[in-house]
């Protein structure tokens, strides 16, 4: 059965471009992004891993560690990283997992046989400090992902984990947020001292509480 939000991320120990890695040990108490790509030495994947490397500091600021994965070998990953660094002008420091026996791909349902019987699709999982899965997205091989959007989701997840708010459409860090319906309007001033705007009884906005 495929994984759903809130499920525990399956732990694994596997070879990678940086040697053997255990997922839970690697993540420690922080957040994680585990994402698969169809294959090494392919054009869209090269840009995706390059973009992720360019954003390494942004992930680190969010206490988030990144792991890429495909069914290619660790040796292939290490050689391909040289190309990524050269062509995308980056320094890939995160591990690329070598899932040659596809055990991890199967545990995370990253192989979609109607798309490809022998390669992972572009799956991405955000994993919280409790090791629960917080986000799942799946893109086809033909569409490279937007990694700024992944950072935006991490910002939302880290904010909403600690405050009774949700983030509206296209929200970006620093913008107003929505007070969750569970909070009664009369209780908002005590909980949100920065004030609030009631647009409708069910739509109450407040400045981002942790800014």
Give the range of 21-29, 34-42, 185-193, 199-207 binding ligand BEZ by CB under 6 A: 34-42
Smallest distance, Å, CB 132 to ligand BEZ?
29
Residue 3, φ and ψ in degrees, nearest 5 = -80, 150
Nearer to ligand BEZ, 42 or 138 (CB): 42
Residue 50 binding ligand BEZ, by CB under 6 A: no
Smallest distance, Å, CB 118 to ligand BEZ?
11
Smallest distance, Å, CB 5 to ligand BEZ?
27
Helix pair 147-160, 43-54: axis angle to 10 deg? 50
Smallest distance, Å, CB 70 to ligand BEZ?
10
Residue 142 binding ligand BEZ, by CB under 6 A: yes
SS3 of residue 148 by DSSP: helix
Which of 18, 23, 34, 45 is the catalytic position? Answer: 45
Residue 115 binding ligand BEZ, by CB under 6 A: no
List the 203-206 sheet strands across, edge first. Answer: 165-166, 177-179, 203-206, 197-200
Q: If you search the block for the tokens 């708010």, which residue do you land on?
A: 165
Residue 143 binding ligand BEZ, by CB under 6 A: no
Contact at 8 Å (CB) between 37 and 122? yes
57 is catalytic: no
Residue 88 to residues 10, 40, 57, 141, 143, Cα–Cα distance (Å):
31, 15, 16, 19, 18
- The footprint of ligand BEZ (CB under 6 A) covers 38-39, 42-45, 141-142
């Amino acid at each position: 059965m495929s994984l759903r939000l809130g499920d525990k991320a399956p732990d694994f120990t596997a070879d990678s471009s940086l040697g053997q890695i255990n997922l839970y040990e690697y993540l420690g108490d922080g957040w994680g992004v585990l994402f698969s790509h169809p294959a090494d030495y392919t054009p869209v994947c090269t840009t995706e891993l390059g973009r992720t490397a360019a954003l390494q500091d942004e992930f680190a600021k969010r206490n988030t560690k990144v792991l890429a994965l495909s069914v290619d070998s660790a040796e292939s990953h290490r050689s391909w990283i040289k190309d990524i660094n050269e062509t995308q002008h980056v320094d890939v420091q995160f591990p690329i997992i070598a899932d040659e026996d596809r055990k991890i791909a199967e545990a995370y349902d990253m192989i979609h046989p109607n798309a490809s019987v022998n390669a992972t699709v572009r799956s991405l999982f955000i994993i919280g400090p409790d090791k629960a899965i917080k986000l799942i997205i799946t893109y086809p091989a033909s569409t490279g992902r937007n990694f700024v959007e992944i950072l935006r989701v991490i910002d939302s997840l880290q904010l909403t984990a600690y405050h009774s708010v949700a983030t509206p459409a296209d929200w970006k860090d620093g913008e107003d947020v929505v007070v969750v319906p569970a909070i009664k309007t009369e209780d908002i001033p005590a909980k949100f001292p920065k004030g609030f705007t009631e647009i409708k009884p069910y739509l109450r906005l407040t400045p981002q509480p942790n800014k």
